[in-house]
Chains A and B, each alone.
Chain A
Amino acid sequence: MNDTGAVELDCRGLRCPLPVIELARRLPDLPLGAMIVVVADDRAARVDIPAWCRMRGQEYAGESIAADGTPTYAVRRLS
């Protein structure tokens, strides 16, 4: 958990398509409505995580930046 109460998924150093695979593996463990934050330095994640949400019926909740400057992508489980 990070300080917003969301589960954090550390995908630093993982290359496309691994961050999306990790997200797909982890999300079913969360209750509906819960938020997961994917921390990923792979450039493709910026497009592929929102695309995954669109294709899989989950909510993409936006991009932010971790303390070390790595981009983070928030996803809410809808189904």
Chain B
Amino acid sequence: MTNLADPSRAWVYLDSASGQPLHPSARDAILSALDQGYADPRRLHDSGRRARLLLDNARAAVAQCLDVRPDEVSFTSSGTDAVHRGLLGLRRGRLRVGTTIAHSAVEHSAVLEAIRWADVRSIGFAVDRAGLVDLAAAQAALAAETEPVAVAAVQLANPEVGCVQPIEAIADALGNVPLFMDAAAATGTLPWPGGWQVAAASAHKWGGPAGVGVLVVRKGARWRDPFPADDRAEPRVSGFENVPSVLGAAAALQAVQAEHSELSRRHTQLSAQLRDELASIPDLELVSSARPEPGSALPGLVAFSCLYVDGEALVGGLDRRGFGVASGSACTSSALSPSHVLEAMGVLTQGNLRVSFGRDTQPDDVARFARALREVLDELRSGLGLDL
């Protein structure tokens, strides 16, 4: 890609956690399906059967990648939609038991907004400085509830800081309370654990197209559609599937899983390289793990915060130098409040950046990024009159 401000300079995209460029496998699958998958998969004619076949192939492929049954997989219109349906449907299936929703303090806004929309009592599980759910505190919070908790929502990996929750241990601590797992940040990178009843993911996070979410409802889970549908036969989702995009999502997931161990190894090295660079920058706090064990963190994500600078100025300065990164600082959000994830962890929120690597990121990109970051920080801090 080229830099819009200076076409001669290579643009380095370091925001794969927000959305990946389309995987080449997805592009091929989408293009071939555009001409084949236009019909209504429920119609009993040749074109309909062809669309149905493509959809069922995609479902089988995704089910195999996620190690679930094909009839447990539905395709939604986005990851957010999958989260809303998954969590609220699990709650609806438990209405006779209770209405309260428990969640970790670091859930994605799609989970928090679903709870707000449901307008029910909620309890938040505190997290430690690493962003991990405190199991003892979670159990104490559940025990303190006088009404039964309907459902709990815990993400597999956090999209802002990359920590991976101990889902199976959390499921044990929850006892009879069913668990909704938001796996959007981790799917394609980490295998799914057990212990959950309903899970959701988002195709553009693994290199599929935007506009495709995956909702998995385990057989036997008490899940009821929380939203109105139409007279279509497909359970759990509403509307006409985007068959070509669904096929692209499935092709991308198969491809990234095949590349996974090699990519994880490279991303682990790039993360270590970046952390080494950051260690020599003053007044900087690493907010992703400093020494991640395999499987305990997303391998290709490094998050940190810098004293005395605003996140928007950092993002802008790096953008002008040809690097695309995300920030969770207050100054980069419309709400003027810092990321609830950083707040819940109790880490520095100002000057926050999240660097997330793609399939093509090279060690030289990381070295050049670190140089650009030093320049931008020096520029922003030099005028402050601080003795640093």
| In the complex, chain A residues whose CB is within 8 Å of the CB of B283 | 55-56
Please judge, given known A-B contacts A15-B331, A43-B337, A47-B338, whether A21 and B346 are in contact too, CB under 8 Å: no
Contact present for A17 and B310 (CB under 8 Å): yes
| In the complex, chain B residues whose CB is within 8 Å of the CB of A51 | 285, 305, 346-349
Contact present for A25 and B350 (CB under 8 Å): no
The reply on B233 being an interface residue by CB < 8 A is: no
Contact code string B295-336 (vs A, CB < 8 Å = 1, else 0): 000000000010111100000000000000000011100001
Considering the chains assembled together, what is the distance between the CA atoms of A50 and B129 in angstroms?
13
The reply on B234 being an interface residue by CB < 8 A is: no
Give the Cβ gap from B308 to chain A, nearest Cβ, in Å: 5
Interface hits, A6-22 → B, CB 8 Å: 15-17, 20-21
Contact present for B308 and A47 (CB under 8 Å): no
Contact present for B331 and A47 (CB under 8 Å): no
Give the Cβ gap from B349 to chain A, nearest Cβ, in Å: 5
Considering the chains assembled together, what is the distance between the CA atoms of A56 and B307 in angstroms?
10
| In the complex, chain A residues whose CB is within 8 Å of the CB of B308 | 17, 20-21, 24
Contact present for A15 and B346 (CB under 8 Å): no
| In the complex, chain B residues whose CB is within 8 Å of the CB of A52 | 307, 348
Considering the chains assembled together, what is the distance between the CA atoms of A50 and B307 in angstroms?
12
Considering the chains assembled together, what is the distance between the CA atoms of A52 and B305 in angstroms?
11
Contact present for B329 and A16 (CB under 8 Å): yes
Contact code string A46-73 (vs B, CB < 8 Å = 1, else 0): 1110111001100000000000000000
The reply on A28 being an interface residue by CB < 8 A is: yes
| In the complex, chain A residues whose CB is within 8 Å of the CB of B347 | 47, 51
Size band of the interface chain B makes with A: 20 to 34
Contact present for A21 and B384 (CB under 8 Å): yes
The reply on A44 being an interface residue by CB < 8 A is: yes
Contact present for B336 and A43 (CB under 8 Å): yes
Contact present for A16 and B338 (CB under 8 Å): yes
Contact present for A55 and B338 (CB under 8 Å): no
Contact present for B331 and A16 (CB under 8 Å): yes
| In the complex, chain A residues whose CB is within 8 Å of the CB of B346 | 47, 50-51
Considering the chains assembled together, what is the distance between the CA atoms of A46 and B351 in angstroms?
15
Contact present for B310 and A47 (CB under 8 Å): no
The reply on B1 being an interface residue by CB < 8 A is: no
Contact present for B307 and A17 (CB under 8 Å): yes
The reply on B342 being an interface residue by CB < 8 A is: yes
Contact partner of A55 (CB less than 8 A), chosen from B329, B330, B348, is: B348
| In the complex, chain B residues whose CB is within 8 Å of the CB of A55 | 283, 285, 307, 348
Considering the chains assembled together, what is the distance between the CA atoms of A47 and B342 in angstroms?
9
Smallest Cβ-Cβ distance to B347: which chain A residue? A51
| In the complex, chain A residues whose CB is within 8 Å of the CB of B144 | none
Contact present for A20 and B307 (CB under 8 Å): yes
| In the complex, chain A residues whose CB is within 8 Å of the CB of B349 | 16, 44, 47-48, 51
The reply on B56 being an interface residue by CB < 8 A is: no
The reply on B343 being an interface residue by CB < 8 A is: yes
The reply on B386 being an interface residue by CB < 8 A is: yes
Contact present for B384 and A15 (CB under 8 Å): no
The reply on B228 being an interface residue by CB < 8 A is: no
Contact present for B307 and A43 (CB under 8 Å): no
Contact present for A25 and B385 (CB under 8 Å): yes
Give the Cβ gap from B160 to chain A, nearest Cβ, in Å: 14
Contact present for B350 and A16 (CB under 8 Å): yes
Considering the chains assembled together, what is the distance between the CA atoms of A71 and B89 in angstroms?
40
Contact partner of B330 (CB less than 8 A), chosen from A15, A28, A50, is: A15
Smallest Cβ-Cβ distance to B350: which chain A residue? A17
Smallest Cβ-Cβ distance to B283: which chain A residue? A55
The reply on B35 being an interface residue by CB < 8 A is: no
Smallest Cβ-Cβ distance to B348: which chain A residue? A51
| In the complex, chain B residues whose CB is within 8 Å of the CB of A46 | 343
- Known A44-B329, A44-B338; further 18 A-B contacts with Cβ < 8 A: A15-B336, A17-B307, A17-B350, A17-B351, A20-B308, A24-B307, A24-B308, A24-B386, A42-B330, A44-B337, A44-B349, A47-B346, A48-B348, A51-B348, A51-B349, A55-B285, A55-B307, A56-B283
Q: What are 20 A-B contacts defined by CB distance under 8 Å?
A: A15-B331, A16-B329, A17-B310, A20-B308, A20-B350, A24-B308, A24-B386, A25-B385, A43-B336, A43-B338, A44-B338, A46-B343, A47-B346, A48-B338, A48-B349, A48-B350, A51-B305, A55-B285, A55-B307, A55-B348
Across the A-B interface, the 3 shortest Cβ-Cβ residue pairs: A51-B348, A17-B350, A44-B338
